[in-house]
């Protein structure tokens, strides 16, 4: 990404020293985008971006993830998203067990399934990477990404 000379500062450099803009998004089990948060400098961390997103505010206000509960063995579980431990603990965010707490086969299986689902979401974003390589300028990126996410989601309907 090429930033205009007047916008180059340390905030836009990621941990590898590259100019970067962060895109954080959420997809559902059908790989539809539920939320896209774009435009944060590369130096920001995931938790900071999540806490400043519309999706976070809606989830915390119990206005999002309102699907019917999943019931198994007389236990009810509300709709949730899958993320990593760096985001923190929330009733609507499932995270993996830390390695030190992997004391049973069921914990290991849970972590395997958690990782598999998280990887599916990551794969959804990787399908967009080629499209975004043509947008090298900061001011083009946000609008182009929104359009690409919409168009890619529409392809899933075909």
So what's the pLDDT on residue 10? 80
Say if CB 59 and CB 90 are below 8 A apart: yes
DSSP 36: E
Predicted confidence (pLDDT) per residue in 67-84, tens digit: 888 888 888 888 888 888
Domain ranges of the chain: 5-155
The pTM assigned to this predicted structure is: 0.68
Predicted confidence (pLDDT) per residue in 125-151, tens digit: 776 665 555 455 555 555 555 555 554
Predicted confidence (pLDDT) per residue in 16-66, tens digit: 888 877 888 888 878 777 888 888 888 888 899 999 999 999 999 999 988
Strand 21-27 and strand 75-77: the pairing is unpaired
DSSP 149: H
Cβ-count burial 25-48 (b if 16+ within 10 Å, e if not): bbbeeeeebebbbbebbbebeeee
């Amino acid at each position: 990404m090429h930033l205009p000379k007047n916008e180059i500062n340390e905030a836009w450099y990621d941990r590898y020293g590259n100019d970067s803009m962060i895109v954080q998004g959420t997809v559902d089990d059908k790989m539809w985008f539920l939320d896209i948060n774009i435009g944060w400098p590369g130096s920001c961390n995931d938790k900071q971006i999540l806490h400043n997103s519309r999706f976070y505010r809606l989830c915390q206000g119990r206005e999002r993830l309102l699907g019917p509960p999943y019931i198994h063995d007389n236990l009810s579980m509300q709709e949730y998203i899958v993320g990593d431990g760096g985001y923190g603990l929330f009733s609507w965010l499932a995270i993996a067990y830390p390695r030190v707490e992997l004391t049973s086969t069921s914990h290991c299986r849970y972590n395997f399934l958690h990782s598999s689902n998280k990887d599916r979401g990551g794969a959804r974003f990787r399908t967009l990477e080629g499209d975004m390589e043509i947008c090298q300028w900061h001011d083009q990126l946000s609008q182009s990404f929104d359009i690409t996410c919409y168009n890619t989601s529409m392809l899933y309907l075909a």
